[in-house]
Amino acid sequence: MRRWFQDLEDAWGDDLHSEIEAFFDLGEDTLLVYYLLRGRGQQSGAEVALPAAAVVRTRDGLIVYLKAYTRREDAFRDLGLSETELEPIPR
């Protein structure tokens, strides 16, 4: 995780943030999270908005597993689900 965060900081500097779009309850303390990763390339100055997803498992209020996907459909494929099978948790 440290290496991953360092790589992100090297590429994006402090101008990288995520915006949560939706949560989906998968049961057993597991969520599918839709988020939008926004940033500006440190070298190019190009603005980027990447729709992404993550599967997150928690135990006792702590994240014990996280798998991030740069393509949301890959998350559904790994989960053996389709997007139409889930409803977002109201926020």
Asked if the model's pLDDT at residue 1 lies above 80, the reply is: no
Annotation: CATH topology of 2-78 = Nuclear Transport Factor 2; Chain: A, (3.10.450)
Distance, in Å, from the CA atom of 87 to the CA atom of 65, rounded to the nearest integer, reads 22
Rg (CA), the chain: 15
- State phi, psi for 69 to the nearest 5 degrees: -130, 130
pTM of the model: 0.81
Q: What is the domain partition of the chain in residue ranges?
A: 2-78
- Give residue 14's pLDDT: 79
Residues in CB range of 80: below 8 A, 6 or more apart: none
Q: What is the pLDDT of residues 66-83, one digit of tens each?
A: 999 999 999 999 999 998
Contact 33, 18 (CB under 8 A): no
- Residue 53: strand pairing partners: 34, 69
- Give residue 66's pLDDT: 94
Q: What is the pLDDT of residues 21-32, one digit of tens each?
A: 999 999 999 999
Q: What is the pLDDT of residues 32-55, one digit of tens each?
A: 999 998 988 888 888 989 999 999
Residue with tokens 């790589």: 7
